[in-house]
Chain A
Amino acid sequence: MVREGAGWRDIPRGGLILSPGNAARYVTGDWRTFRPTWHPERCIQCFLCWVYCPDAAIEVKDGKVAGVDYKHCKGCGICATECPDKAHALTMERDEGERGVEV
């Protein structure tokens, strides 16, 4: 990955990005003011949150929704909006007092 502040001699030609998937290394979790909380007991595994999340921050394990990747979740709330009303498995809460990354 290109080093921040690198000079013109040390960066790939023409703006090529040679390290695929490097967005994973860019942590955006501390942009969040609201955080989604996932309630596994209410989750019906419809995957709508996973489909709609713009930051690929819904974690999936063994083919099942398993939580939220708080390193990258920006707290947009789309997951909570898309979660079916009957299930109500994702709720948004203020992230007060713990801004930053929950690992």
Chain B
Amino acid sequence: MAQTETKAGRFTARGPKGRPAGRVALTGNEAVALAMRQIEPDVVAAYPITPQTDIVQYFSSFVADGRVATEFVTVESEHSAMSATVGAAAAGARAMTATSANGLALMWEVLYIAAGSRLPIVMPVVNRALSAPINIHCDHSDAMGARDSAWIQLWSEDAQEAYDNVIQAVRIAEHPDVHLPVMVCLDGFIISHALMNLEVLPDEVVKDFVGSYRPDSSLLDPERPITVGPLDLYDFYFEHKRQQAEAMRAAAPVIREVAEDYETVSGRRYGDFDAYRLEDAHTAVVVLGSAAGTARFVVDELRRDGRRVGLLKPRVFRPFPGLELADALAGLDAVAVLDRSDSFSTMGGPLFAETRAALYQRAVGRANRKDSGPSSGSGPGNGRPLPITVNFIYGLGGRDIDPGDMRAVFSRLARVVETGDTGDVVNYLGVRE
């Protein structure tokens, strides 16, 4: 390997063939479209919207070029996209779509129909701000608004994780204990339109991993006719919602099991969340998506200066791995939760609300019933005081969050610890006063 000394920096030149096998450079949207091609669902019904457009464009060209046998349904709106996907899934097809922002909002009522009918649809959501004012850039308001629709939500830091999440989502959605739709979230433009390295799997490995879908019932089975989506009044509706809650609970171990299987084929390990340099940290940030990568960079930088800082990045937001997350955060002095959307509750963003609720549940120690996941009394942070938590709303409408912003968050946490004064609990990071 030749060393190339440049004035701009030092590189190890590996030569044109020096690229590790499977490593490619793709945009986030290309990576998602590639995963969809490898999964080769029976039906894709989709409507283009910025910044998801490339996914639909690339996938429709795979269909046109005969690279997949997928039935591609062009529709007149996202409401129809999700409706057609629901119809296809009810008919027993492996069905996918993809959307962003206002498109997701237009799907609203059908999101609930997909989840309530227990259809294992997989949908990449390229996160973008909701109007008004109109804005096409990254923001988590779209998916956060859908957080209570009983869709599983997986969040992605980069193109690699988006690719890996889409493949795993198929197995999670279709698992007999789960049978719920899955959203795979990736940051609009920052990830969807940025070219970056990732390692992709050979087509046959993905095909083997997802396997073939054999639904236990289907609208297209004349031998065993069924009705999907009947009227369900106060006599049974509540029981069906209780089933959904149970399916979401059952999803947690399934997500872990699928991640373990995925590690055996990919070598990449995914948990419910990534606890980065958290073991001996005094302060940490909790953040979803691409900003976690920037936080990771700053954590490394501050660690070199001897600062004991860490990062917790949730990958699974629904179901929310609250008690495990609270265990991981217990014992820290102060934690900043970063939200790329506001709930307008005046009590902070959605990730903050969930994180605080989990910490409270852990603190009151009433979470040790079998249906509440791991006991709050046995976690690694048991007996340790809970951290002070503050919230930062950041990056709305694509406002950049850079290492300087992250350093400011860690400085604020250091001050909170030093003075014991929390100050404002809900803060706006990077907004002009």
User: Footprint of B on A, CB under 8 Å?
Assistant: 2, 4, 6-8, 11, 13-18, 20
Contacts and interface: CB of A to CB of B under 8 A. Distances in A.
Interface stretch (B13-21, B224-232, B272-280, B299-307): B224-232
Contacts of B232: 15
10 contacts: A7-B239, A11-B240, A11-B243, A13-B118, A14-B179, A14-B240, A15-B236, A16-B227, A17-B230, A20-B225
Given A8-B239, A8-B243, A8-B246, A14 B118 contact: yes
B225 A8 contact: no
Contacts of B23: none
Given A13-B179, A15-B229, A8 B117 contact: no
Interface residues of B, number: 24
A7 B238 CA distance: 10
Given A2-B236, A13-B243, 13 more contacts: A4-B235, A7-B239, A8-B238, A8-B239, A8-B242, A8-B243, A11-B236, A11-B239, A14-B118, A14-B244, A15-B240, A18-B217, A20-B227
Contacts of A4: 235
Interface of B: 116-119, 179, 217, 224-230, 232, 235-240, 242-244, 246
A44 B354 CA distance: 71
Contacts of A15: 116-117, 228-230, 232, 236-237, 240
A15 B237 CA distance: 8
B121 to A, nearest CB: 13
B217 A16 contact: yes
A1 B117 CA distance: 18
Contacts of B235: 4
B226 A14 contact: no
A16 B218 CA distance: 10
A8 B232 CA distance: 13
In this complex, the member of A6, A8, A15 whose beta carbon has the largest number of chain B beta carbons within 10 angstroms is A15
Q: Return the 5 tightest CB-CB contacts between A and B, nearest first.
A: A14-B118, A17-B227, A8-B239, A20-B225, A8-B242
B232 to A, nearest CB: 5
A14 B116 contact: yes
A2 B246 CA distance: 19
A90 B237 CA distance: 41
A18 B118 contact: no
B233 to A, nearest CB: 11
A33 B226 CA distance: 33
Contacts of A11: 236, 239-240, 243
A28 B217 CA distance: 29
A11 B235 CA distance: 12
B240 A8 contact: yes
A11 B243 CA distance: 9
Contact of B226 (A2, A7, A16): A16
Contacts of A13: 118, 179, 243
A28 B244 CA distance: 32
Nearest to A5: B235
Nearest to A10: B239
A14 B243 contact: yes
A20 B243 contact: no
Nearest to A15: B232
B398 to A, nearest CB: 37
Nearest to B227: A17
A11 B228 CA distance: 14
Contacts of A16: 117-118, 217, 226-228
Contacts of B228: 14-16
Nearest to B241: A8
In this complex, the member of A4, A8, A14, A20 whose beta carbon has the largest number of chain B beta carbons within 10 angstroms is A14
Contacts of A7: 239
A18 B224 contact: yes
